């Protein structure tokens, strides 16, 4: 008999995290634990304030699923896309799928990437994020981050250009700009691109509103750089409908619904010739390590949550000389480093 437990948890940032959506000091999350036949699997549901799901609703849905009878791992896995409780809940589906894949990999001794049909993990460029913050804090915040040679700079506010200039003077890292839909004109975005220069610019993620395809297309032509979709491409259907506006895509477990969904999107994006970034919604080491198992399909990784948090209760992926180091063994390779108050569903 499969047993499901859960643990609501508030992930807290070391410093306030600012984007064009606003500033927050943490992110609500829900950890999931499944146990079956002596095997344990863990999953994470991370729910920033700008998504439609919340912890209360996720717990209610999880309790409903757990109460539907005697599940086994195969039966629950096969039912994920049929359960009404998971409809319109991609983050909860992602967390459940994560736990099931973790347990399955441990049980049958098969790597995670093979279970979801992805390429072998590789050393991709690891991004470290500098959120929107006062200009005088930029040098100190950069010193606090590991040196991976690549920065993700949040822009979309009135000081975006000035902050970019300070960051460039404080670090020699290459830069990926992230607008979070906050840019107002192609001219404003082009000026940021020009200041960074082609030798240091990695691309520009979601500069304009998700529905504003015209400006994104204009910027791609004018700036001659990779424009990544984030909010504009939530799942496989959005990627299938994409008409060539974006040259790259940021894949995130919490928006697409799981490792299997993300792997399917990666395969399609590769056929479309898009550059792939693996992202997160500030997950802990649990969610970020899970996504890192798909690194074989990506040119860059935006999985720096563990280095931005001050109360990460998990140990998983790490860095060595700026490069990603994956845990050894089967399963996600993530284990709790502190006691969590699990509640049986």
The CA-atom distances, in angstroms, between 148 and each of 15, 110, 136, 210, 279 are: 20, 30, 22, 29, 16
83 and 42 within one domain? yes
Residue 182: which CATH number? 3.20.20.120
Reported as a pLDDT band with limits 50, 70 and 90, residue 1 is confident
Query: What's the pTM value of the predicted model, to 2 decimals?
Result: 0.95
88 and 12 within one domain? yes
73 and 37 within one domain? yes
In a domain, 221, yes or no: yes
Give the pLDDT of residue 281. Answer: 93
Distance CA 209, CA 156 (A): 11
The CA-atom distances, in angstroms, between 248 and each of 191, 275, 300 are: 21, 4, 11
The alpha carbons of the chain give a radius of gyration, in whole angstroms, of 20
Grouping H, G, I as helix, E, B as strand and the rest as coil, residue 25 is strand
Give the pLDDT of residue 20. Answer: 86
Distance CA 278, CA 91 (A): 16
Reported as a pLDDT band with limits 50, 70 and 90, residue 93 is very high
Q: What is the pLDDT of residues 18-62, one digit of tens each?
A: 998 889 999 999 999 999 999 999 999 999 998 999 999 999 999
**Partner residues linked to 27 by β-bridges:** 11
Supply the DSSP symbol for 236: H
In a domain, 119, yes or no: no
Measuring CA to CA, which residue among 52, 54, 96 is closest to residue 75? 96
196 and 87 within one domain? no
Grouping H, G, I as helix, E, B as strand and the rest as coil, residue 5 is strand
**Strand 174-178 relative to strand 201-205: parallel, antiparallel, unpaired?**
parallel
133 and 108 within one domain? no
137 and 94 within one domain? no
Q: What is the pLDDT of residues 137-195, one digit of tens each?
A: 999 999 999 999 999 999 999 999 999 999 999 999 999 999 999 999 999 999 999 99
Please give the average per-residue pLDDT across 291-309, as a whole number: 96
Reported as a pLDDT band with limits 50, 70 and 90, residue 243 is confident
Give the pLDDT of residue 123. Answer: 82
Number of structural domains (the chain) is: 2
182 and 35 within one domain? no
Please give the average per-residue pLDDT across 299-323, as a whole number: 95
In a domain, 150, yes or no: yes
**Strand 335-336 relative to strand 314-315: parallel, antiparallel, unpaired?**
antiparallel
In a domain, 120, yes or no: no
268 and 132 within one domain? yes
In a domain, 291, yes or no: yes
Residue % of the chain over a pLDDT of 70: 100
305 and 220 within one domain? yes
Distance CA 312, CA 296 (A): 25
110 and 129 within one domain? no
Please give the average per-residue pLDDT across 206-235, as a whole number: 93
Residues 6+ apart with CB under 8 A from 29: 8, 9, 10, 11, 44, 45, 46, 47, 55, 283, 284
Distance CA 320, CA 325 (A): 7
Query: Exposed, middle or buried: residue 344 (CB in 10 Å: 0-12, 13-18, 19+)?
Result: exposed
Distance CA 154, CA 142 (A): 13
In a domain, 247, yes or no: yes
Give the pLDDT of residue 121. Answer: 86
Mean pLDDT score across all residues of the chain:
95
Residue 49: which CATH number? 3.30.390.10
Q: Which residue has the tokens 């490792």?
A: 259
231 and 83 within one domain? no
Task: Give strand ranges (E) for 133-247.
Answer: 150-154, 174-178, 201-205, 227-229
In a domain, 158, yes or no: yes
Give the pLDDT of residue 333. Answer: 97
Please give the average per-residue pLDDT across 110-135, as a whole number: 93
Please give the average per-residue pLDDT across 204-209, as a whole number: 96
In a domain, 144, yes or no: yes
Give the pLDDT of residue 44. Answer: 98
Distance CA 184, CA 176 (A): 18
89 and 136 within one domain? no
Asked if 89 and 253 touch (Cβ cutoff 8 Å), the reply is: no
Parent domain of 69: 3-114+339-344
Distance CA 298, CA 210 (A): 22
Q: What is the pLDDT of residues 59-83, one digit of tens each?
A: 999 999 999 988 999 999 999 999 9
Residue % of the chain over a pLDDT of 90: 91
């Amino acid at each position: 008999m499969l047993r499901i437990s859960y643990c609501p948890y508030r992930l807290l940032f070391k410093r306030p995290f600012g984007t064009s959506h606003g500033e927050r000091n943490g992110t609500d999350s829900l950890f999931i634990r499944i146990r079956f036949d002596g095997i344990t699997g863990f999953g994470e549901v991370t729910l920033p304030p700008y998504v439609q799901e919340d912890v209360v609703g996720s717990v209610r849905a999880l309790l409903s699923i757990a109460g539907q009878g005697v599940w086994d791992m195969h039966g629950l896995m096969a039912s994920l896309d049929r359960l009404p409780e998971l409809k319109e809940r991609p983050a909860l589906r992602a967390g459940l799928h994560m736990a099931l894949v973790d347990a399955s990999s441990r049980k049958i001794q098969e790597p995670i990437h093979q279970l979801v049909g992805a390429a072998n993990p590789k050393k991709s460029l690891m991004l470290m994020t500098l959120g929107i913050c006062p200009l005088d804090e930029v040098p100190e915040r950069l010193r606090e981050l590991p040196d991976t040679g690549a920065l993700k700079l949040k822009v979309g506010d009135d000081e975006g250009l000035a902050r970019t200039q300070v960051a460039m003077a404080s670090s020699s890292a290459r830069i990926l700009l992230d607008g979070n839909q906050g840019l107002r004109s192609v001219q404003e975005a082009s000026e940021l691109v020009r200041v960074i220069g082609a030798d240091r610019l990695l691309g520009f993620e979601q500069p304009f509103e998700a529905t504003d395809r015209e400006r994104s297309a204009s910027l791609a032509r004018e700036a001659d750089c990779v424009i990544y979709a984030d909010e504009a491409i939530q799942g496989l259907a959005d990627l299938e409908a994409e008409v060539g506006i974006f040259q790259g895509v940021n894949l995130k477990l919490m928006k697409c619904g799981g490792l299997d969904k993300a792997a399917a999107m990666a395969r399609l994006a590769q056929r479309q010739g898009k550059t792939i970034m693996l992202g997160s919604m500030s997950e802990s080491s649990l969610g970020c390590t899970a996504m890192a198992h798909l690194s074989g399909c990506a040119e860059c990784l935006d999985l720096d949550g563990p280095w931005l948090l001050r109360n990460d209760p998990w140990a998983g992926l790490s860095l060595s000389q700026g490069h990603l180091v994956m845990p050894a063994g089967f399963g996600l390779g993530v284990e709790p480093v502190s006691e969590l108050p699990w509640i049986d569903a």
